[in-house]
A = this chain, B = another copy of it.
Amino acid sequence: MQEDSGLSRIQPAAELVRLRLDVAYDGTDFAGWAAQRGQRTVQGELERALATVLRLAEPAPTTCAGRTDAGVHARGQVCHVDVPRPAYSAVPGRDSTHPPAVSLLRRLAGALPADVRVRGVREAPAGFDARFSAVWRRYAYRVCDDLAAADPLRRREVLLHARPLDVAAMNAASHRLLGEHDFAAFCRRREGATTVRRLLDLSWERDASGLAIARVVADAFCHSMVRALVGALLAVGVGQRPVEWPAAVLAGRLRDSAVNVVPPRGLTLEEVGYPPDDELAARAHAARRRRTVEAGDGDSAGAAGS
């Protein structure tokens, strides 16, 4: 620590390095991603671990691609953080040949609780912003509708559903929702923020163990959007609503109380897509500009948890 103090006297504004972190977590015991005073959050745990391992005087703020809600999981969350380069370079490695990214990855594994894992650390390419550079987010929603397929080892990430689902009907209903629409009917409204999103994929399949799994990809998501879409589709899957119903709700463009928002347990952020490195800055610029035009809170960049 003494070296750091000496350094900061000589070099009061140390050069910052932007790191990209790939993060996975079991959301069960978290009050979501976003740091909140008095709550256990993924962001809070991650910033605390980074401050410990990098010996920062105060936590460096992280920015993520998808601010997941309480109880929502991630395997492919991406975030960035700007840290002083001297602190990053000084992380002790197993031996002197270890690059700092490898050492930081190992140290974070020891500093984080078992329900959060950092799976990758690298210096971010120029112009990279975990939130504004992202071009799509992919979520999965997992449902077990067959007692013979119930796996207690996966109960934290799978919704148990008492009635069997017709996956073909759910796919027919899902297909009608693809493309760019105003998803206000499936979103919790926020003053001044757009609810127009481009839904790139929404499809269901059975995996080898019999689970019904939705694959949901969009440029960005509004708050609770995936869980409301899945709720509408489950109603189709059990025959309670016709295949045309979710598209009719969408066309209504008003939050519909007949749509059941399913529990967070089954939802996992699986992957975030970014453009090639030479387009990162342009993408981030465009996303930030859209945010300004809307005078919203940046939802259009898709940071809201689904």
Contacts and interface: CB of A to CB of B under 8 A. Distances in A.
Chain A contact surface mostly: mixed
Contact of A153 (B75, B148, B149): B75
A25 interface: yes
Contacts of A119: 147-150
A268 B106 CA distance: 28
A109 B155 contact: no
Interface string A9-24: 0000000000000101
Contact of A155 (B26, B149, B152): B26
A96 to B, nearest CB: 19
Contacts of A268: 153
Contact of A105 (B105, B117, B147, B157): B147
Nearest to A146: B119
A73 B117 contact: no
A117 B151 contact: yes
Contacts of A152: 24-26, 114-117
Q: How many copies does the complex hold?
A: 2
Interface string A134-152: 0000000000000111111
Q: Which of A26, A118, A119, A152 has the most CB of B within 10 A?
A: A152
A189 interface: no
Contacts of A48: none
Contacts of A114: 152, 155
A150 B106 contact: no
Interface residues of A, number: 28
A120 interface: yes
Contacts of A117: 147, 150-152
B105 A153 contact: no
Contacts of A118: 147
A288 interface: no
A95 to B, nearest CB: 14
A156 interface: yes
Contact of A148 (B26, B120, B147, B154): B120
Contact of A24 (B106, B116, B151): B151
A101 to B, nearest CB: 11
A154 B158 CA distance: 12
B156 A153 contact: yes
Interface string A144-175: 00011111111111000000000000000000
Given A117-B151, A153-B268, 16 more contacts: A24-B150, A24-B151, A24-B153, A25-B152, A26-B152, A26-B155, A105-B148, A109-B147, A116-B152, A117-B147, A117-B150, A117-B152, A119-B148, A120-B148, A153-B154, A153-B157
Interface of A: 22, 24-26, 73, 75, 105-106, 109, 114-120, 147-157, 268
Closest 4 A-B residue pairs measured CB to CB?
A117-B150, A26-B152, A115-B152, A119-B148
